[in-house]
A and B are shown apart, each in its own frame.
Chain A
Amino acid sequence: MGSLAQSLMTKIKTLNEKVWEGRAREPAIMAWLDNFADSSTSGLDERTHALFLLSNFMYFGDREIRELLKALYRDLYRYPIIESIRRTNNDTLDSEIIDPLFKAKLGATRFLGVGNPSESGCHLLYYFRQENSLSRNLFIHTHQIFKRNIGFGLQELREPAITRYIFIDDFCGSGKQGVEYSREIVGEIKRLNAGAIVEYYVLFATTKGMDRVRNETDFDSAKAIYELDSSFKSFSSDSRCFIPPLQENIDRTFCEQMCTSYGKKLVIEARHALGFEDSQLLIGFHHNTPDNTLPIIWFDEPSVVPWTPIFRRYPKSVW
């Protein structure tokens, strides 16, 4: 192993120990590196580039996700409501005025996960409730928003007193899911209760995805705790992975070509070779790795292509 690879391995060892929850030890890394050629015609080394990318991988473990869920509740939900209560009450600091009003607003709120109950958005609600000490009654499934009036066969809101619906998700990459939700659910809520506030909160989102949700949906607001701008896109011109001066023997073009070439072999559509809709991210969570991350990191379908992942993605099987 060359000195660059050695120093990258040292960095990775520290990341693994301090951040990655011990999920990528050397034997797993070596097995992952075996996916790549040990030399190339250009004289640049694929494995060193793979290590370089791995050393830039952002991972959010259980502890971090729980903290972010606290921040999501506190910063996106609680503080803005308290701010509005204070504003309408002469900027009062009196907790005896603020607390009951906030409690009432909370009672008239329902939190929902985005996606199928088995998916990560819903899975996170459990921790969200725990970390923020919220009552179980504040959480519903999407099918519990509406009920069908038996006499007339029309859809109506199951709890008309609810004035705020908060949809929570862990990740917004392209914004596609937010748009679909808005089309299917948000419009209907608004139709039945024009005064209801429907919001979309997400832990991580790309700027592009959030823009899409903000512009193409009926959500009253869409907010993210951690917004990923174009610098998080691995091979963008302002990529934070390739900030000059780069180490000798690290080449952005070579790296991009390498990831594209392997990515095309791994995913069905070439446009997803660097992650869903060319997201090019290097991010993973305790509970899963989003498909917006480079497929060389997470691809794990040996029946399709033999490939050993380093942070595997649990795919959404749809059979």
Chain B
Amino acid sequence: MKDMMPNPFNITKAVDFSDQEINDYWVDIPSGHGFAAMTKPTSPMPMLILGGKGSGKTHLMRYFSYPLQRIRHGQDAIRGIQNDRYIGIYLRCSGLNAGRFKNKGQSEEMWADVFAYYMELWLSQLVLNTVLSAVGGTSDLAKNEPAITAELSKLIDADKGTAPTKLSDLNGLLRELQQKLDGAINNSSIIGSLSARIAVTRGDLIFGIPKLLGTKLSPFRDCLFLYLIDEFENLSESQQKYVNTLVRERRSPCSFKIGARMYGVRTFSTYSADEENKEGSEFEVLRLDTLLRENKEYGRFARRLIGKRLAESDRIQATTVAIDSLAEALDKCFEEPEKSKFSKSETDFLIEKYNGRERPYFKDLRKDLERGIKAKSAPGLHGPGDIEKILKLLSCLEFPLLEKANILLFYQDWRSKRNLLEAARAIAGERKHYQDGTGESRRYKEGLLHFRADLLAQLYRDTHHRQRFVGLSTFIEMSSGLPKNLLVLLKHIYAWATFHGEKPFGGSPISIRSQQAGVLEASEWFHHDAQLIGRDGRFVMDSIERLGTLYRGIRFSRKPSECSCSTFSADLSRCSTDAVRILKLAENWSLIIEVGGQRDRNTERIDAKFQINPMLAPQWDLSIYRRGAVALTPEEVNAVFDPEHSTEFKSLADKRIERMMPPFFGRRAPTQSDIGRDGILNLFTEEDHD
């Protein structure tokens, strides 16, 4: 076997980690007091931890669970828990096999009661196991155990045989009751009935055990029993209602952290007279990916995360300081285009490729001008000689980027009805000033500042080159607050680099082509992984396809209306119900990200603003950055998101993009009456809508 160093980014799901690995791979966010301050494990206020797939919910929740506390505190776990002032009891809802608790000829009410009882038994065992692991063998427990056990036994209305005197016996009894219940549930469809006797009142053990232990055992005095319920989305509505009821009826010293995907909360209702839990009143919410995305320290956190992975894969017991210094050096591990004046080093390939041939964008411009002259829509131009003059004026052989900037400004002027020869002369002057650093060239400077990335993207596309999604900062930006996305990107980049015979993170920087190949594969994975099941899933994916197509059309149009177009704003109140529903589904699945609001240019109204997930950007060669936002009309939003209106998409998208294309820029073709006595057209009379 050739030297097969395992890819340090192979594992991207926290459920695949052992407790030790959760601890080893833990990285805190370097702001405030880190994740503990955000998660508030000692706060009695229950918390809903919401986040997209891969936002780190499981890693975070397991980190606060008792097995991790024990690893962190080593020999003196009891003192550690006392200092922590909480003990975490972690439960993953997928382990419940929650789908068993329905149908089989039983009523919904019956299942609700059985599920509540089952959870009571399960959580109680988790608490007792945790407690026994923490204080088992201590004199404190030995002294108080018979009394605690006797007290707790009273809460269980079942034949106990010989009365239990130890917590482990009590736990055995609970396990026995659970096994009986398992048998009854599993066989109910065969037998046709569900024979179960509920031996514990809801909440008596879940809240009763911690209360008694807090009173009787000194290590748990002033200690919060924190139930960490993960993968809440795996519970049905009635099952969630039960958990919501526990949250509402919470008793000290207990609290809850409930982890769920963003779409995962089906109800806030409870069995407490059907009252709904309210954010801020019964619980608070931690929106993990939004919080990470908007955190200024996310970049440092992401670099630490990578540094930690590399250190662990090399089996280095690195200190935080060492991880930080490793993290700081990471950017150099990725090859990036050499910084050069007017991106010369990035565009030199074009000079060589088109040596002695007309460059592709000039070919396009020539065609546009010929069409313009033919349609009498090229102000100031009369024949081929004028076209040659323009091409010459806009040419800048040494710097293709400046040529693209010239052409962009020229199209802007064309759309603004300027005499094109004069416009080209002016642009040539501005370019010279800008290039030489002399005179006034503000418009030129701003144009390049805003559109530089789009112009380079157009250059690559014009010359059939792959778009360049390279550099660590790019990958961090692409991950948009979802650490898993970052790890997936690096996993694929690492794999490609290895395949290309490189030694990633161990010698020369990872080549641009390995980065490009890895990013593309990671993006395809994200696109594929996000495929939703069912009819709505198809609608969502189709909508994203349409949105990506629209953005691509804008970005690669002759005169893009917005720079780095990957965001739209819209007045959702005027869109169809289905469009809003599908849009929200896309948001819940992290395919689009809400990025605040934008004031509408005409009405001053604040519209919602959404960015396509940057992980999807390579699918349509879009920008991962967010600058300009396209203000979509309600009709356009409906055409993108509402399946009923999807047939209108093509014509609406074409219409919008035509506004960015010469010679008419979205206006009607001129008729004879539009042409003045001097032979110059006068067609620019319609309203602009960009």
Contact = CB atoms under 8 A, between A and B. Distances in A.
Interface of A: 10, 13, 16-17, 21-23, 25-27, 61-62
A25 B501 CA distance: 6
B247 interface: no
B315 interface: no
A61 B495 CA distance: 19
Interface string B462-504: 0000000000000000000000000000000001101111000
- Most chain B CB inside 10 Å of its own CB: which residue of A21, A25, A61, A62: A25
B499 A21 contact: no
A23 B2 contact: yes
Contact of A16 (B3, B499, B517): B499
B1 A26 contact: no
Interface of A is mostly: helix
A55 B3 CA distance: 22
Interface string B498-515: 111100000000000000
Contacts of B4: 21-22
A61 B1 CA distance: 9
Given A25-B500, A25-B501, A27-B501, A13 B495 contact: yes
B463 to A, nearest CB: 15
A76 B1 CA distance: 29
A22 B501 contact: no
Nearest to A16: B499
Nearest to A29: B499
24 contacts: A10-B517, A10-B521, A13-B496, A13-B499, A17-B495, A17-B498, A17-B499, A21-B1, A21-B2, A21-B4, A22-B1, A22-B3, A22-B4, A22-B498, A23-B1, A23-B2, A25-B2, A25-B498, A25-B500, A25-B501, A26-B499, A26-B500, A26-B501, A61-B1
Interface string B292-319: 0000000000000000000000000000
Interface range on chain B: under 10, 10 to 19, 20 to 34, or 35 or more? 10 to 19
A22 B521 CA distance: 19
A16 B501 CA distance: 12
Contacts of B496: 13
Contacts of B517: 10
Top 5 nearest A-B pairs (CB, nearest first) are A27-B501, A22-B2, A13-B499, A22-B4, A21-B1
Nearest to B3: A22
A277 B496 CA distance: 38
Interface string B1-33: 111100000000000000000000000000000
Nearest to B466: A6
A262 B14 CA distance: 51
- Most chain A CB inside 10 Å of its own CB: which residue of B3, B499, B501, B521: B499
A10 B498 CA distance: 13
A62 B501 contact: no
Nearest to B464: A3
A62 B499 contact: no
B33 to A, nearest CB: 41
A13 B518 CA distance: 11
Contacts of A21: 1-2, 4
Contact of A62 (B1, B2, B495): B1
Contacts of A26: 499-501
Contacts of A13: 495-496, 499
A24 to B, nearest CB: 9
A27 B497 CA distance: 11
Contacts of A61: 1
A10 to B, nearest CB: 8
A22 B2 CA distance: 6
A270 B496 CA distance: 39
Given A25-B2, A26-B500, A26-B501, 19 more contacts: A10-B521, A13-B495, A13-B496, A13-B499, A17-B495, A17-B498, A21-B2, A22-B1, A22-B2, A22-B3, A23-B1, A23-B2, A25-B499, A25-B500, A26-B499, A27-B500, A27-B501, A61-B1, A62-B1
Contacts of A27: 500-501
Nearest to B514: A26
A10 B521 CA distance: 9
Contacts of A17: 495, 498-499
A17 B497 CA distance: 12
Contacts of B2: 21-23, 25
A10 B524 CA distance: 13
Contacts of B521: 10
A10 B513 CA distance: 13
Nearest to A26: B500
A23 B1 CA distance: 7
Contacts of B498: 17, 22, 25
Nearest to B521: A10
Nearest to A286: B1
A8 to B, nearest CB: 13
Interface string B167-198: 00000000000000000000000000000000
Nearest to B496: A13
Contacts of A62: 1
A25 B4 CA distance: 11
Contacts of B3: 22
B528 to A, nearest CB: 14
B521 to A, nearest CB: 8
Nearest to A12: B499
A158 to B, nearest CB: 39
B520 to A, nearest CB: 9
B193 to A, nearest CB: 33
Contacts of B501: 25-27
Contacts of A16: 499
A17 B498 CA distance: 9
Nearest to B5: A22
A13 B500 CA distance: 9
B525 to A, nearest CB: 12
B337 to A, nearest CB: 21
Nearest to B500: A26
B179 to A, nearest CB: 28
A13 B502 CA distance: 14
A23 B501 CA distance: 11
A22 B496 CA distance: 12
A62 B2 CA distance: 12
A142 to B, nearest CB: 31
B482 to A, nearest CB: 24
A66 B2 CA distance: 19
A21 B5 CA distance: 11
Contacts of B495: 13, 17
Nearest to B495: A17
Interface in B86-130: none
Interface string B529-542: 00000000000000
Contacts of A22: 1-4, 498
A26 B498 CA distance: 9
A27 B511 CA distance: 14
A239 to B, nearest CB: 27
B517 to A, nearest CB: 8
